[in-house]
Structure 1
Amino acid sequence: MNFMLRIALQLLAFFFLFVFIHMITAVTIQFFWPQGGTDANLSIYVLVLSTVLFLLILLLIGWYLGRPVYFIIVWLRRLARGQYDLPIRWDEIRSRKSGTLKIPYSIYKELFEHLHILANTLQKNEKELQKSEQAKQEWIRGISHDLKTPLTYISGYSTMLINTEYRWSEAEQKEFLTVIQQKAAHLQELVQDLNETIHGQIPLKAEVVDIVELVRRTVADVSSAPWATGRQFMMDTDPDQIPGSCDPKLLTRAIRNLFVNAVVHNPEGTRIAVRISQLHDRTTEIQIEDDGIGFSETLVKSDAAIPSSERSGLGLSIAKQLIEAHGGDLIVTSKPNEGTSLSIRLPLMQS
């Protein structure tokens, strides 16, 4: 039975109720005043009584049909304020035994059902919006953090070039300028990444690359930086080539952040070992170990962003997000004064 038919039947029921009461009134008057049929005063009394009954019936209709409407208005007002939970009196308008809407609320059954669906949809959209905004803020924060690395290269090599205490050869100057140019291009890429549209997930532009070569280039890049002087890098791989599907730019950012952490948060003389292997479950494992100062287990187990004042800095949190976006895992083991071990596990490309 649709909504309009139920309303029509309810109004028809009130009409018959009015007619029935009017007939009862007329019969009662006729019974107690049988000779008053020609009395003009009696006709007036009947008219007034009928009018009063009509007004009472209208008030009854207004109360009967208007109370659910007021409940709906209150619910809509809550939705407009961003309150998506059920109204406080929701349990009062439903039968405890059957769980169905009480009369007269059952007349507006479709309205209540659609309001419930609307509330759930709005609540879901609100959560997705918050999640998307959080992802966007983390994306911007990550890029802002990564901007420091190429700036450090540019600052370091430009300082070396303008140093008047040493006369660099033409080949050395060309090498420094090449690095500065490369890092300036990297800065431009990061600035362009700020314009990426983030909808809850990090945008990946996957392509098939050699994971071993990607890590080797990242190691060479970080180890050649002026601020990496005094740190010893060692790399071992088995096999020599491991093809994988990934976003090379984002995966490089993640691995670079881990290498930079191992460099800038450890003293000179720290040894940093990199091992790449292919596991039997079609997974690539990249292990990064150092014998530096380490950091506490509390920071290792925390999923929150780690303050830059701590040993790992924000780079660990960014690397974790980028690796997980590739479907991988980052396993961190570290203790103060016992060094740090990082294990990156990435799924291999399906054959």
Structure 2
Amino acid sequence: MRWKITGLYIGSLLILSLLLLSIFVFTIWFSVITGVNVPETERSRFPEQFTLEFEKFIMDDNGMPMVKKEGEEKLKKNNAWLQILNKDGTEIANWGKPDEVNGHYTPSELIFNYKYSNNGNTIFVSRKNADNKEWSYIIGFPENRVSKYTVLFSPESLRYRDLITPLVIILLTTIIIGYLFGKKLSRPVLDIINGITKLAKGHYHINYQTKGLYKNVYYSLNTLANTLYYNQRERRRLENMQEEWIANLSHDLKTPLSSIKGYGEMLLDKKNISNSKEVVEYANIIMSKSLYIESLIEDLKLTYQLKNNMLPLNKKNINLVELLRTTIIAILNTPLYTEREIHFDVKTENIPFYGDEKYLTRAFNNLIFNALTHNYNTTEIWVSVNQTFYNTKITIKDNGKGIPAEDLDKLFERYYRGTNTNRNNAGTGLGMAIAKQIITSHEGTISVESWLNKGTCISIIFTNKINL
């Protein structure tokens, strides 16, 4: 993979170099070689062609040269000057000639000045024939505008290898530089590709140093690996919990069904029934187990609806104090808990709240029952509710056994524990999860703190909606 990336880089660099070289050669060829082939209307922009064609603006006026008005304008436009010489090389007329320019030339001086710039001027020479008279004329341009450079070479000594050698040197230099840079640039790209390949195979233990040109990519790759690793662990944990919950649920359904089946068979066998009292006893047991299964199914349905926001809530204005008081009284009126102590502490008798009375009662009922069921009979429970300008807080506290620290995070998870039908008044094992989902559906939060052999405190907070 490294060589493939480096090769692609070198290939791209070679193509780019050849393209630039081709553009350069074409530009030189077009500007210099084809300069003589420009349209007639554009030739005046070439100084040498301009000089050759300027003779049409020179005319004979009684034996003396004169320049047409149009010619003077072209000289002015091109910032050029004109000098006309006789056969002896002496000046007989000029237009715009600088003071430092000579007025007489010998043949050698004329050739020298034509080949090399002199006094900051570049000159071009041509001639004019008029009425059997021959004049030489010089047109000069400022050296900073027009310059001439002579290139000397021998066509006989020019060989193909003289052209190929520089090209080979350029190509080799390009390859070497391309290899070095390609190798340096391909290393992080290869690391990124390898990292993505590892992630695709489920190997999330990668950690790249976030430095260099690709530091943001490395950072994103590390973040993605950590996220995928966390999601993988969470998925496996939930799968294990779900498998455990299904196993416990199967057991909890199988236990009452076994009782129903057994007592049903006994009722069918008249030999096992001595009197009507036993019939009633067996029927009550069958009814009790049936009600438990029905309750379990209803709880499963409810937690599914709450999880997927499919449960329509009948929200209205209610009094939280009255709702909690009614819930506590109903629990204490249950025969199993008539001797238990639940303290209710409020500072005001009316705390308005907008919610579903039925499901809020269900949530508080589950939380208080959980504190009663999983503690000693001597355990006391304190329920309090307070409202401030910003929120409403409900606290359910007990002085019971407490919850181990490793179990606190799992307290409200549906898949954490199964039910236990061998206990009196055993629930479905979904009560705490349902309570949290109901609180959350009312835009509230629930948290728990616990200390072993000291007790547990559950806090519920609803943010008050303030109309501005």
With the length of structure 2 as denominator, give the TM-score of the two structures.
Answer: 0.41
1:57 corresponds to: 174
Q: Deviations over 1:124-160 (max 9, x none)?
A: 7526734763784587379559859976994898699
1:287 corresponds to: 397
- 1:342 pairs with 2:456: yes
- 1:277 pairs with 2:379: no
Decide which structure has the larger Cα Rg and report it: 2
Aligned partners of 1:289 and 1:342 also within 8 Å: yes
**Paired amino acid for 2:293:** A
Aligned partners of 2:345 and 2:385 also within 8 Å: yes
Shift in alpha-carbon separation, 1:143–1:128, aligned structure 2, 3 A:
same
Aligned partners of 1:204 and 1:247 also within 8 Å: no
> Comparing both structures, which one devotes a greater share of its residues to helix?
1
- 1:140 pairs with 2:242: yes
Identity percentage of aligned residues: 8
For 1:180 and 1:348, how far apart are their aligned partners in 2? 37
1:186 corresponds to: 295
- 1:129 pairs with 2:238: no
Aligned partners of 1:272 and 1:289 also within 8 Å: yes
Q: Give the gaps of 5 or more residues in structure 2.
A: 1-11, 26-151, 267-271, 418-427
2:217 corresponds to: 115
Aligned partners of 2:328 and 2:342 also within 8 Å: no
For 2:250 and 2:292, how far apart are their aligned partners in 1? 11
The match for 1:73 among 173, 181, 190 is 190
Aligned partners of 2:381 and 2:399 also within 8 Å: yes
**How many equivalent pairs are there?**
282
1:259 corresponds to: 372
Displacement of 1:78 after TM fit?
0.8
Displacement of 1:332 after TM fit?
2.6
For 1:271, what is the secondary structure of its paired residue?
coil
Aligned partners of 2:207 and 2:222 also within 8 Å: no
For 1:133 and 1:254, how far apart are their aligned partners in 2? 28
What is the CA RMSD across the aligned residues, in angstroms?
5.9
For 1:58, what is the secondary structure of its paired residue?
helix
**Paired amino acid for 2:460:** L
- 1:38 pairs with 2:147: no
> Comparing both structures, which one devotes a greater share of its residues to strand?
2
For 1:216 and 1:174, how far apart are their aligned partners in 2? 31
Aligned partners of 2:303 and 2:434 also within 8 Å: no
For 1:213 and 1:75, how far apart are their aligned partners in 2? 63
Shift in alpha-carbon separation, 1:153–1:219, aligned structure 2, 3 A:
farther
For 2:325 and 2:247, how far apart are their aligned partners in 1? 25
Shift in alpha-carbon separation, 1:119–1:145, aligned structure 2, 3 A:
same
Displacement of 1:77 after TM fit?
1.7
Shift in alpha-carbon separation, 1:334–1:303, aligned structure 2, 3 A:
closer
For 1:328, what is the secondary structure of its paired residue?
strand
**Paired amino acid for 1:344:** I
**Paired amino acid for 2:374:** N
For 1:196 and 1:124, how far apart are their aligned partners in 2? 32
Q: Deviations over 1:30-85 (max 9, x none)?
A: xxxx9976247x54355245324323323423442453134213212213313586
**Paired amino acid for 1:327:** T
Displacement of 1:330 after TM fit?
2.5
For 1:38, what is the secondary structure of its paired residue?
coil
Q: Deviations over 1:306-339 (max 9, x none)?
A: 999xxxxxx99x959965965123233443xxxx
1:331 corresponds to: 449
Shift in alpha-carbon separation, 1:116–1:160, aligned structure 2, 3 A:
same
Q: Give the gaps of 5 or more residues in structure 1.
A: 1-6, 21-33, 94-100, 102-111, 225-230, 309-314
Aligned partners of 1:147 and 1:187 also within 8 Å: no
